[in-house]
Structure 1
Amino acid sequence: MTLNKEQIKRLFIGFDKPLALVIFLLMCVGLIALYSAAINMPGRVEDQIRNIVLTFILMWAVATLSTQTLMKFAVPLYTIGVGLLIAVAVFGLTKKGAKRWINLGIVIQPSEIMKISMPLMLAWYFQKREGNIQWFDYVVALLLLVLPVGLIAKQPDLGTGLLVAAAGLYVIYLAGLSWKLIFPVLIAGLLCIGTILAFEDKICQQDIKWHILHDYQKHRVCTLLNPTSDPLGKGFHTIQSVIAIGSGGLVGKGWLKGTQSHLEFIPEKHTDFIFAVFAEEFGLLGECALLVLFLLLIARGLVISASGATLFARLLSGAITMVFFTYVFVNMGMVSGILPVVGVPLPFMSYGGTALVTLGLGCGILMMVAREKRLMQS
Structure 2
Amino acid sequence: MRLIDSYRDKKTVDILLTQIGNINVKHKYRFMEVCGTHTMSISRFGLRTLLPENINLISGPGCPVCVTSQGEIDAIFDLVKNNDVIIATYGDLLKVPGSNGENLYMLRSIGFDVRVIYSPLDVISIAKNTGKEVVFLSIGFETTTPASAALVKQLVKENIKNVSLFVMNKTMPRVLDFIANQKEVMVDGFLCPGHVSAITGERLYEPLVKSGFACVISGFEPVDILMSVKLLMEQVNKGKFWVENNYGRVVKSNGNELAMKLMYEVFEDCDACWRGIGIIGKSGLKLRDNYKEYDAIERFNIFIDYDKSLPGCRCGDVLLGRINPTDCSFYGKRCTPDNPFGPCMVSNEGSCAAYYKFGG
- TM-score bracket, normalised by the shorter chain, equals under 0.3
Give the TM-score of the pair, scaled to structure 1. Answer: 0.24
Give the TM-score of the pair, scaled to structure 2. Answer: 0.24
Kindly indicate which of the two structures has a greater share of residues assigned to strand.
2
